[in-house]
Structure 1
Amino acid sequence: MRSALQRFWAEWSWPLQVFLLTRLALLGAAFFADIALPGPPEAAGRLEPSNLWLDVWARWDSGFCLHIATQGYYLYPDEPSAVAFFPLYPLLLKGLAGLVGNAVLAGVLLSHLSFALALMVLWKLSLQLLNSPAAARRAVLYLAIFPTSFYFSAVYTESLSLLWVLLAFYALHERRWEWAAVSAALASATRVTGILLAGVLWLEYLRAWEGRSRWPVGLALAGVGSLGLLSYMAFLAVQFGDPLAFWSVQGSFSREVGGFIEEIRPLFQQNFLTGPISWNVLLDLLALVFGVVGSLVAARRLGLGYALFGLLSLLIPFSSGTGSLSRYVLMVFPAFMVLAEAAERPWLDSLIRFIFPLLLGLLLAIHVNGIFVA
Structure 2
Amino acid sequence: MTGRAINPRIKSLVVITLLVKVAILVLIGASWYLVPFSFAGHDANFVYPIGEPAWLASAFKTWDANHYLYVADNWYSPFHIGNAFYPLFPLLIRMAGYLTFGHTLVGAFVLSTLFAVLSVVYLFLLIAKTYDEEVAYRSSLILLAFPTSFYIGLVYTESVFLLLAIMLLYYLRENRMMPAIACSFLLPLTRPTGILVIVPVLVALLLELRTKRSFDPKKTLLPLAFVAGYGSYLLVMKLATGDPFAGFDAQKVFQASNSLLNLLHPVDWFLNNFIYTDFTLNGFTTSIMNRVFFVVYAVIAVLSYRKLDTTLFAYLLITGMIPALTGSLTSYMRYLVIVFPMFVLLAMKLKGRSVLFYLVPCSILQVVLVLLHASNRWVA
Q: Above 0.5 in TM-score?
A: yes
The C-alpha deviation readout for 1:213-241, integer Å capped at 9, x for no partner, is 96986543211133222101122234334
User: Is the partner of 2:252 in helix, strand or coil?
Assistant: helix
Residue 264 (structure 1) shift: 7.0
Could you tell me which runs of 5 or more consecutive residues in structure 1 were left unpaired when the two chains were aligned. Answer: none
Equivalent residue number for residue 69 of structure 1: 72
| Closer, same or farther: CA 217–276 of 1 in aligned 2, 3 Å | closer
- Give the distance between the partners of 2:54 and 2:11, measured in 1 at CA: 31
- Give the distance between the partners of 2:32 and 2:228, measured in 1 at CA: 41
Equivalent residue number for residue 56 of structure 1: 59
Equivalent residue number for residue 286 of structure 1: 292
1:120-269 equivalence runs, <5 A: 120-131=121-132, 133-210=133-210, 219-254=220-255, 255-257=257-259, 258=262, 265=272, 268=275
User: Is the partner of 1:252 in helix, strand or coil?
Assistant: coil
- Give the distance between the partners of 1:266 and 1:175, measured in 2 at CA: 42
1:315 aligns with 2:321: yes
- Give the distance between the partners of 1:363 and 1:372, measured in 2 at CA: 7
Query: Does the CA-based 8 Å contact 1:93-1:106 persist in structure 2?
Result: yes
Query: Does the CA-based 8 Å contact 2:181-2:221 persist in structure 1?
Result: no
Between stretches 258-267 and 199-208, larger displacement belongs to 258-267
- Give the distance between the partners of 1:111 and 1:70, measured in 2 at CA: 17
Equivalent residue number for residue 37 of structure 2: 39
Residue 91 (structure 1) shift: 0.5
- Give the distance between the partners of 1:252 and 1:215, measured in 2 at CA: 44
Equivalent residue number for residue 118 of structure 2: 117
Q: Which amino acid aligns with 1:340?
A: A
User: Is the partner of 1:226 in helix, strand or coil?
Assistant: helix
Residue 365 (structure 1) shift: 0.7
Q: Which amino acid aligns with 1:92?
A: L
- Give the distance between the partners of 1:209 and 1:359, measured in 2 at CA: 44
- Give the distance between the partners of 2:160 and 2:248, measured in 1 at CA: 21
- Give the distance between the partners of 1:335 and 1:108, measured in 2 at CA: 26
Q: Which amino acid aligns with 1:221?
A: L
User: Is the partner of 1:8 in helix, strand or coil?
Assistant: coil
State the TM-score, normalizing by the size of structure 1: 0.86
- Give the distance between the partners of 1:145 and 1:216, measured in 2 at CA: 40
- Give the distance between the partners of 1:61 and 1:103, measured in 2 at CA: 15
Residue 353 (structure 1) shift: 1.6
Residue 161 (structure 1) shift: 0.8
- Give the distance between the partners of 2:57 and 2:307, measured in 1 at CA: 41
Equivalent residue number for residue 379 of structure 2: 373
Q: Which amino acid aligns with 2:168?
A: A
User: Is the partner of 1:128 in helix, strand or coil?
Assistant: helix
Query: Does the CA-based 8 Å contact 1:111-1:154 persist in structure 2?
Result: yes
Residue 344 (structure 1) shift: 1.3
Query: Does the CA-based 8 Å contact 1:27-1:53 persist in structure 2?
Result: no
- Give the distance between the partners of 1:309 and 1:126, measured in 2 at CA: 14
- Give the distance between the partners of 2:221 and 2:293, measured in 1 at CA: 35
1:94-105 equivalence runs, <5 A: 94-101=94-101, 102-105=103-106
- Give the distance between the partners of 1:205 and 1:178, measured in 2 at CA: 16
Between stretches 191-200 and 256-265, larger displacement belongs to 256-265
Tell me the number of residue pairs that the alignment of Structure 1 and Structure 2 aligns. 362
The C-alpha deviation readout for 1:249-270, integer Å capped at 9, x for no partner, is 3221121434996897586478
Query: Does the CA-based 8 Å contact 1:22-1:145 persist in structure 2?
Result: no
> Over aligned residue pairs, what C-alpha RMSD do you find?
3.0
Q: Which amino acid aligns with 1:153?
A: G
- Percent of paired sites with the same residue: 24
- Give the distance between the partners of 1:128 and 1:27, measured in 2 at CA: 32
User: Is the partner of 1:175 in helix, strand or coil?
Assistant: coil
Between stretches 319-328 and 301-310, larger displacement belongs to 301-310
